[in-house]
Amino acid sequence: MKDSKGPQPTALPADAPSSLPRLASSESLSSAQWIPCVALDVECTREHFHAALLDLVFQPELSSSTILRGDILQDDEQPLSPPLSLPGYRCTRRIRRRLLPSRPSIDWAMEQECLSYNAAINDEEAPDQDGEGLVLLVPDLEQLRQEDPDGRIPYYHPQVAALAFRYFPPTSSMPSPSLRLDLMPLPSQPVAAPLPPSDRLYRTGLMLVKYAAKLCKGQAVGWQKRVHHDLLAGKEEVQDLYQELKTKYTADIAAQSPRITFRWMLHNWRESTDAAKHVFEDVAIAAWLIIVWRHMYPDTGGQPPGGFVDVGCGNGLLVFILNAEGYRGYGFDLRERKSWAGYTSPRPDLRVESISPPALIAAHLASVSSASSSRLSEPSSRAAAPGPEWPFPRDSFLIGNHADELTPWLALLAACTPGERVAFLNIPCCLHELSGRFERQTYSIPAAYLASLPTAPTSPVDSAGASATTYPLLTPFYAPTPSTFSPSPSKDPGASITGGRYAAYQLYLAHLALRCGFVPEREALRIPSTKNFGMLGRKRVWDDGKGTEGGLGAEERRSEGEERVKREVAELLREVERKGEWKARRPEGKAGEH
């Protein structure tokens, strides 16, 4: 359906006024004429225009799904000698970027000059404060010849030698500011003006102007980004590994099939669920996890010391990829899935198993209490009845990827797992509490628990990911702000959120993590799912020295913190027992007969 709200773009005739001058400093393009394409009224200033186009330059993937990202090679905010000069305009910023395709098997990378200009007064150096703004996007045709023998421009970029985004301030004859796009044809591909509406180049120009206008409006109304990505792992690292894994498993998995393409797994998916969603999602999660582990465990080569355990592993693809990449660990689920038998070389460690977290944790607390008592008294002659075996190795990394009713238990299970380097990742989907469904629309974390949080970093995490000493606490998710939070529980009720049931559920999980002594860090994962938030518990609150008695050393802080967590876990278990709603699922099929 065509959007009829607000001003609509209009096609420009070949003789549209205010034509751009030729690129006098470019030998290959100096003879090319600009072709007016499309224009659209906008309500913004020239400053808003330049800020909006910077967003387009830094995040080109938002305007096209065929672009992976743009790597910035150079950013000069005061260019003394810009590579391209335009009579009547002064260059105010030069950015050189390298565009990377989302389909490297089809497209190739391309370098591009992104040049910002302001109109000058009578061709002087001083810019016209109320004049035109201009941003040129110019592919490096010489560099393209090195990437492609024919020097072709990749599919993800319009087949032109240059794009000119132009901002015009209001005048007596044009009362509204306007945004306009002009195109410069390739020397080898002349284009007739005006462009017909059915032409692909015109349709692309129309889309770009609409998107740029949306960014301009966002700048004008003070839009602030609410969801921040790449805070716990660098975008470049994760995306590059994701592409590497896709390429690698195109060959490895498809080796049994004559169709040596990534489509092999999609066509041979044995589950009733959406193949495309699960395949690409699990590859993306694996890439993200591997990068996070590299930063978490540099002393063990990026390996969790106790391996990993995928709780409720479902189709087992994530376990297969991690095992195949050399990561030790296993996954378990209630029943064997059809896809398990298809994973070979190597065969992943997938197990049919059902656990009852209340029974496991109760037995764990009893054994800890018994061990503590035995150290203070004579050994008893009667052996204690053995409880269920603890299924998580020491210092293991627990994964809850859409683990359903086990999701809220992940922090408790991690808290009870022995070792000082235990950690977990929760990717919640279905909303379950420790007992029953989560039905609340809002949730608050008491201020006393927020007071135990480490101080948030003052600057964003760089592209290399989080270091061992930074805690990317994501406002306004749960981290306190000076205007809304006081560390004194008597003065402030805590942090709350009103973004709907799923947002409230994340706060609930964050509260559980804090009660279990973990610092909950949230990441918006780049996966094809609407439930794409991951919660990472990799640091303990007492590591920062907060939330414990002042003046204690590191050992005393840890000991005091561990005792507090035992009390919290025991209290949570008592709450579940009082409600009496938890029921462990039985393994399905023959596995449930034992």
Cβ partners under 8 Å of residue 69, min gap 6: 59, 60, 61, 100, 235, 236, 239
**Do residue 207 and residue 279 come from a single domain?**
no
Name the band, by pLDDT with cuts 50, 70 and 90, for residue 260: very low
pLDDT at 479 over 60: no
Q: How many domains are contained in the chain?
A: 2
- Domain contains 437: yes
- Domain contains 502: yes
**Do residue 239 and residue 210 come from a single domain?**
no
Q: What's the CATH code of the domain at 70?
A: 3.30.530.20
**Do residue 287 and residue 431 come from a single domain?**
yes
Q: What is the mean pLDDT of the chain?
A: 81
Return the structure tokens found at 555: 């050992």
**Do residue 159 and residue 252 come from a single domain?**
no
- Is this prediction's pTM over 0.95? no
**Do residue 212 and residue 268 come from a single domain?**
no
Tell me the pLDDT tens digit for each residue of 390-449: 999 999 999 999 898 999 999 999 999 999 999 999 999 889 999 889 999 888 888 778
**Do residue 532 and residue 568 come from a single domain?**
yes
Q: Per-residue DSSP letters for 248-302? A: HHHHHHGGGSS--STHHHHHT--SSS-HHHHHHHHHHHHHHHHHHHHHH-GGGTT
- Domain contains 333: yes
Q: Residue 170 in contact with residue 41, Cβ under 8 Å? A: no
pLDDT at 309 over 90: yes
Name the band, by pLDDT with cuts 50, 70 and 90, for residue 236: very high
Domain finish residue from 195, 220, 245: 220
Rounded CA-CA distance 301/282 in Å is 22
- Domain contains 227: no
**Do residue 210 and residue 346 come from a single domain?**
no
Tell me the pLDDT tens digit for each residue of 557-587: 888 989 999 999 999 999 998 887 777 666 5
Name the band, by pLDDT with cuts 50, 70 and 90, for residue 205: very high
Q: 357 is in which domain, residue-wise?
A: 235-372+387-589
Tell me the pLDDT tens digit for each residue of 96-154: 999 999 988 889 999 999 999 999 876 555 566 678 999 999 999 888 888 777 888 99
**Do residue 207 and residue 248 come from a single domain?**
no
Look at residue 101 in the predicted model and tell me its pLDDT: 94
Look at residue 471 in the predicted model and tell me its pLDDT: 35
**Do residue 79 and residue 54 come from a single domain?**
yes
- Domain contains 381: no
**Alpha-carbon distances of 491 from 448, 486, 487, 495, 594, rounded to whole Å:** 11, 7, 8, 12, 55
Nearest CA among 309, 533, 292 for reference residue 414: 309
**Do residue 114 and residue 54 come from a single domain?**
yes
Name the band, by pLDDT with cuts 50, 70 and 90, for residue 229: confident
